[in-house]
Amino acid sequence: MKPSLAAFAVFLFAFPLFSQEEEKKPVSLEADFFYGNILEHNPAIQHLITGHPTGFILSYNRKTYGFNEWERRYNYPDWGFSMTYQNLHNEYLGDALGVYGHINWYFLNRNLRLQVGEGIAYMFKPYDTDSNYYNNAYGSHLVSSTFIKGSFIRENLWKGLGFNVGLAFIHYSNGNLKAPNTSTNTIALNAGINYLLDYKEFPEYIDKEDSLSSSYAQKIAYNLEFRAGINESDVIGSGQEPFYEVSFYADKRLNYKSTIQVGAEVFFSTFLKEVIKFRSIAYPEDGLTGKEDYKRVGVFVGHELRFNKVAAITQLGYYVYWPYEFENRIYVRLGLKRYFSDDRFFATASVHSHWAKAEAVEFGLGVRL
């Protein structure tokens, strides 16, 4: 994923979905140390796995207590910001420093927590043709990063202090913004402490009857969306190229949380022009002429998980027009959407991938007709 997607995610959660003067804003701080392993998700990075990554995660959490409806419907989650530092214990990978926007989900009487963060990481030793050509994991200093942390957590055990312990997963990738982009995934044990500021004045959780979730259901609506961005093929030095996508789809909001989608879209991925030309010359056994059409047409089904004006997007698609066999015919899109002006207009940031292989990070604007 591209760094700007992370900035988009931070923007969404940086501003409360509703804000009123009477609302209290409790805060907790957290510090974790972790120790783990880099997963060999691709044989091409085997030479980069030489040690056990170590580092720390610092988090600022805005606690919720049910003042707004979305908080009650999602069991009073937290949102906030995190910073990570990771020593990958490999001379070619170096260190990583990341900043994130995150959200925390609670389960089992708030003793189990799932923290999901999306952000930007700075890689201190990316690929360089002359000085660091062994690093085929990161092609740029700035990459997108995702972390997922599952923890057993106890808060405010003694004067605001508590502890947490669990497992963390940290992913670094630039979403094919610049080659190479094999990426890395770290799985680690983490342990730390947390501190609840103003623990003596933490408000009571608000538990009241909201309207039925199904009362938010809507009629079928039609959407037109334009997406764009830049990316590069896996051929190092081939250069970054713009891409454009046009989508038309119908959606049906079922209840407060869920909206389903079905639609079609056209992909104008100009980097494929260069890939087709390159392979027609370098690999004549492929039988390419170099004039194959680079455009693709897909159909997809999708789901939106709504948090008031913000939605998490999940889509599964299939190329019905696929003249050049790039990757495979099934594609996935994951991203975020922000609605504006009574849900009439929206902005999106998403990753278009073929399962675990990212093709591009997309930024879009759309209208709900």
- Which pLDDT does position 49 carry in this prediction? 97
Q: Any idea which architecture 27-197 has in CATH?
A: Beta Barrel (2.40)
- pLDDT, position 18: 44
pLDDT(158) > 60: yes
Compute the distance between CA of residue 22 and CA of residue 103 in angstroms, rounded to an integer. Answer: 23
pLDDT, position 12: 52
One-character DSSP codes across 173-186? E-TTSSS----EEE
| pLDDT grade for 17, boundaries at 50, 70 and 90 | very low
φ and ψ at 194, to 5 degrees? -135, 155
What topology is assigned to 213-368 in CATH? Porin (2.40.160)
pLDDT exceeding 90 applies to what percent of the chain?
89
C-alpha triplet 63, 146, 152: angle, nearest 5°: 50
Residue 184 CA to chain centroid, in angstroms? 15
CA–CA distance, 4 with 12 (Å, rounded to integer): 12
The residue to which tokens 């003793």 are assigned: 111
Q: Is 73 helix (H, G, I), strand (E, B) or coil?
A: helix
Is the preceding peptide bond at 203 cis, omega within 30 degrees of 0? Answer: no
* Residue 22 binned pLDDT confidence (cut-offs 50, 70, 90): confident
Say yes or no to pLDDT of 37 above 70.
Answer: yes
**Residue for token pair 């760094």:** 3
* Structural domain spans, the chain: 27-197, 213-368
Question: Does residue 333 carry a pLDDT above 60?
Answer: yes
Q: What residue has token string 């992909």? A: 267
* Contact (CB, 8 A) for 38 and 49: yes
- Reduced to 3 states, what is the DSSP secondary structure of residue 10? helix
Parallel, antiparallel, or unpaired: how do β-strands 27-38 and 161-173 relate?
unpaired
On average, the pLDDT of the chain sits at 93
Cα–Cα dist 98/170, whole Å: 10
Q: How many Å separate Cα 58 from the centre of its chain?
A: 19
Predicted confidence (pLDDT) at residue 146 exceeds the cutoff of 90: yes
Query: Cβ(173)–Cβ(181) under 8 Å?
Result: yes
For residue 16, what pLDDT band results from cuts at 50, 70 and 90?
A: very low
Pairwise CA distance, residues 70 & 309, whole Å: 10
Residue 198: alpha-carbon gap to chain centroid: 32
Condensed to tens digits (0 to 9), the pLDDT of residues 220-259 reads 999 999 999 999 998 888 899 999 999 999 999 999 999 9
* C-alpha torsion sign, points 258, 263, 266, 271: positive
A 10 A CB-CB count for 162 gives 18
Asked if 27-197 and 213-368 have one fold, the answer is yes
